[in-house]
Amino acid sequence: MKSKKKFIALLLVLVMTASVFYGCGSTSKSGGSDTSSETGETKGEVKNTAESGGESTSSSSYTMFMRSQYVDWIKELKWYDEAEKNTGIHVEYVEGPEEISDTYTEVDQRIASGTLPDAAMVNLAQAKVYGSQGAFVDLAPYITKYAPNLQAYIDANPDYKAYVSSDDGAIYGLVKESPIFADLIGYRADQFKEAGIDAATIKTIEDFTKALQTLKAYYGAKDDNYYPLSGRDSALRFAAWFGAASYTDANGSGGVYYNHEKDGSFDIKAAGAYDWIKTMKQWYEEGLINPSWVSGTNSEGDWESQTLEGGASVFYDYYNRAEWFMENGGPDNNPDYDMQVLDFLKGTDGKTVPITTSTLYQNGCVTAVNSSCDEDKIATILKFIDYFYSEEGITLANWGVEGESFKNEGNTKSFIVDYSSEESKEPGEKRWSFLSDRFTVTKPVDQTAFYSWNTKLIADAANKYFVKDNFLDRPTLIYTTDQEEQLTNLVASVYEAESFGLTHFIIGDKELNEANWKAFVKEMDDMGLGDIEKIQQEAYANTFNK
């Protein structure tokens, strides 16, 4: 009994940890970060008819538990309405909490109480663990029978099959594709011009630092609270610029790669890690970076206010944030307000420094089916999902309806509806929207459509910079249940200790010198960093040597 309780506790920690780093889309407020909610209050209750997991609705409909924010998005989508019309299948959504971590927690509670609807948005760990215990359907045989397009996708993408399958080959949950994107450097072009900075001359990290110094000298002379570089969440996001991002590949593993493939990715053993922290320490000491951000107390709202009101000029954040500031008050505060995107930085060899990206498959926002469902209900659920893997469904979910939202000339699609006009509509109003980083249904992503569905500023930047040579390889690794449990415990302590130690080097609480740095690395290894790297390497081998 004690062992079982311990396992359940570990699972809950795993789900909470993964949900922090794998939000399933951008919020309307943040334009990219899934940090919109402060509450875990349940938005809707399951009707009694939905609790039987399959006996509640007709064969042309089913119920699904999902985070409330995502349900709100779905209700606004014109293409989703077309999909229900084309398939003849209606999904009755049961709204969960506003916060994604609370949504996963409620899945645990509903499974325990027997109140889970026909389908649910879960974490991949939940799908596999609860599925093996009998709570979710093994979809593999039903996919073969009822979902030919999805089956063809699985056959054509063995990495997907390996990712979603349990050790025994069962598929208890289906994962959506996610767009591949990276962070961009946004900058106030009007402030650069006023301070005498030519953005085109910023090629290297040294150039970037000089630009910050120039901005500080110019605007800091007028405002003691002006810091050129600011942001939200962790400020430890520049490691890749120094070749110090965490990684796992055929040659080894460095740093915490687990759940940090893109954000918060660093390897303190990398050759450039020391220079990374040394440079950030310089930024801190010279007032080039907001000290509240470095210490972790700069909220998202703080950062937005600073950037909108002139208290900061540069950021490195979600790919469409530059446009967000243009559409959310920047020009209202200052008619000259002009946010642009800086070129990717280059190394001493003149080549673009590759950076971290999102991964194609992520372990959040997984669709699982209640094992209480009968075969007719399972077939209905899979037929709806299968539609989005057909040519018609892929086009609809990524481009919409030809002649209404896009045109096709010479086999080249382009949108004919305006991004800003559609996305600025009032909440609840029907719209064409193709933000595939958000979770709506399990489906593949047309990367070209995703990049194109933006303002010209972001679409041009994405198409210019988001190319393979500019990206680090970020493989999706498959972990065994035992590896997941080990990593959950190790990462929870080691990553926090690393972040704490690095921050103290930056702010001067710990003297940064070679001896102290080596001691710090050893301390982290002794705490379990080396064990994490070993497990990640084993997972890589298991993933790609099957």
Query: How many percent of the chain have pLDDT more than 90?
Result: 79
Alpha helices (H) along 117-221: 124-132, 140-146, 148-156, 158-164, 189-194, 205-219
Q: Is residue 352 part of a domain?
A: no
154 and 8 in a common domain: yes
Mean pLDDT, rounded, for 282-296: 98
Tell me, yes or no, whether 164 and 71 share the same domain.
yes
Asked whether residue 357 is assigned to any structural domain, the reply reads no
* Residues 211 and 337 reside in one and the same domain: yes
One domain, residues 252 and 382: no
Mean pLDDT over 240-245 rounds to: 98
**Is 171 found in the same domain as 197?**
no
Is 162 contained in some domain? yes
Residues 163 and 230 in one domain: no
Task: For residue 498, tell me if it sits in a domain.
Answer: yes
| 111 and 6 co-located in one domain | yes
Examine residue 26 and state whether it is found in any structural domain, yes or no.
Answer: no
Q: What value does the mean pLDDT of the chain take?
A: 89
Asked if residue 24 belongs to a domain, the reply is: no
Q: What is the total count of domains within the chain? A: 3
Q: For residues 504 and 510, is the Cβ–Cβ distance under 8 A?
A: yes
Residue 239 lies in a domain: yes
Convert the pLDDT of each residue in 291-313 to its tens digit: 999 999 999 999 999 999 999 99
Do residues 247 and 381 both lie within one domain?
A: no
What are the pLDDT digits (tens) for 189-201? 999 999 999 999 9
In the chain, what are the helix, strand and coil shares in percent, each to the nearest 5?
Answer: 45, 10, 40
Q: Decide which of 242 and 26 is more confident.
A: 242
196 in the same domain as 83: no
Summarised one tens digit per residue, pLDDT across range 383-428 is: 999 999 999 999 999 999 999 999 999 989 999 999 989 998 999 9
Window from 45-49, 104-108, 231-235, 361-365 with minimum mean pLDDT: 45-49
What CATH number is associated with residue 158?
3.40.190.10
243 and 329 part of one domain = yes
Same domain, 166 and 188: no
What type of residue sits at position 400?
Answer: G
In order, the DSSP letters of 344-403 are PPB-TTSSBPPB----SEEEEEEEEEBTT--HHHHHHHHHHHHHTTSHHHHHHHHH--BT
Residue 515 structural domain:
481-544
Residue 532 lies in a domain: yes
Mean pLDDT on 81-101 = 95
209 plus 271 within the same structural domain: yes
pTM equals 0.77
